[in-house]
Amino acid sequence: VLCRYENEASVPKPKAYIQWVADSPQHGSPVRIDELRVYNPLFKHANPDEKSVTGGFMNDVSETSLEIIHGAVADIGLWDSIKRYAATDAGKKELNEQNVETLRFQFMRIGYFALDKDSSMPLSAIESDQIASTKLVMNRIVTLKEDAKKDA
């Protein structure tokens, strides 16, 4: 990575920002997400029942409507949020009943995600800070709106 420090008043606005997740095992970072499910539009056309869709709506299903990403990482703040939730009475009740879908997060520049019921987060593992004893499965529930002025 090449970079240049510019500390003048007339610095141009950057085209992009670099973000990273620290690799610091002694601090529990990064948090490894076992499966990240990114749901995209199910159909290729806005109205799959239109006459222009040959063969009916089943032929209009997009092959990329579900992307599954293994090995995604997140900042330790994700685990901290889970621990804070688990420390509340409501959180303990939900986690004991395996109702994890109520936990939702915004992943910067990607969208909003919720834990899936396929996640495994025993309350004992959370309370004893055993990240490796959990299985995190996240579903994208809302995409972030793209800038209308941004070139594709």
Predicted local confidence at residue 151, as pLDDT: 54
Give the tens place of pLDDT for each residue, 98-127. Answer: 888 888 999 877 899 999 999 999 999 999
Q: How confident is the model at residue 134 (pLDDT cuts 50, 70, 90)?
A: very high
Residue 70 has pLDDT above 90, yes or no: yes
Give the tens place of pLDDT for each residue, 7-65. Answer: 777 777 777 777 778 888 888 889 999 999 999 888 888 887 767 777 778 888 899 99
Residue 150 has pLDDT above 70, yes or no: no
The conformational region for residue 77 under phi > 0 = left, psi -120 to 50 = alpha, else beta, is alpha
CB-based contact 116:99 (threshold 8 Å): no
CB-based contact 116:137 (threshold 8 Å): yes
Positive/negative CA dihedral, 7, 9, 12, 13 = positive
Q: What tokens appear for 4 in the block?
A: 């240049």
Q: Which pTM does this prediction carry?
A: 0.76
Residue of 89, 148, 86 whose CA lies nearest to 123 = 86
| Cα-based angle 105, 86, 22 (whole degrees, multiple of 5) | 50
| C-alpha span between 64 and 38 (Å, rounded) | 9
